Structure 1
Amino acid sequence: MSEANCLFCKIREGAIPAKVVYQDEHCLAFEDINPQAPMHVLFIPRKHIATMNDLTPEDRELVGSLYIGAAKLARERGYADQGYRVVMNTGPNAGQTVFHIHLHLLAGRPLHWPPG
């Protein structure tokens, strides 16, 4: 999928509205429109990268910022001590439906293992 047709790139650019809850120079985070937990936030890099398979060594800081932002938001919302989950799906069989890498941050209910 090209950047011009990417749902998350359109959200990043403000062409599609989203409830933004965190942002820094590398990433943007917004509430998931179909939450699977009381807190379900998506962290996307500002740079369009379709899947984890497309990452390069130069993307280390960018991907790290997704995790740092997720941990910061989990702490701010009071979930750090009780626990939260972060997951990034890669490819259709893993459940990736938008081909712009994104980190799911889920918390607020017991999250069993293995996930579905």
Structure 2
Amino acid sequence: MSPFLRIGFSKFEMDPGLAYHEEVLNPYCAVYMKEAIDTEKGQVHKQKKPTMYPPWSTTFDAHIHPGRIMHVMVKDRTAELKSEATVALDSLATRCKKENGKLETWLDLKPQGRLLMEAKYYLEKT
């Protein structure tokens, strides 16, 4: 089995002073794991597993495969807010290993906001 990351999101913040003035109503995360696939037109990323909706301050596991990415989208119940970011799992694993296996970092979202992400690297035994 491959190594994996245990990932959690604990806090979402809007950028102060940006255009989104309404109160964010019950923000939630949608996580899309996408695999790298070689095609005639080059490499594309395709989602093969169902979208995850992890509750705040919980964790989920993501195996590390070459080219695998995690696309995170934060939405609110009004469907007004949609902020997102994409992270390569292998680069996230490398950062975790440099930090003694555990990382806590703010993930900048586009077009606005940031998300507090925790990740822990595990080397799964076969």
TM range (shorter): under 0.3
Per chain length, whose mean CA-contact separation is higher, i.e. which structure has more relative contact order (CA < 8 Å, sep 6+)? 2
Q: Normalised by the size of structure 2, how large is the TM-score?
A: 0.22
Where is the strand percentage greater, Structure 1 or Structure 2? 2
Higher Cα radius of gyration: 2
Where is the helix percentage greater, Structure 1 or Structure 2? 1
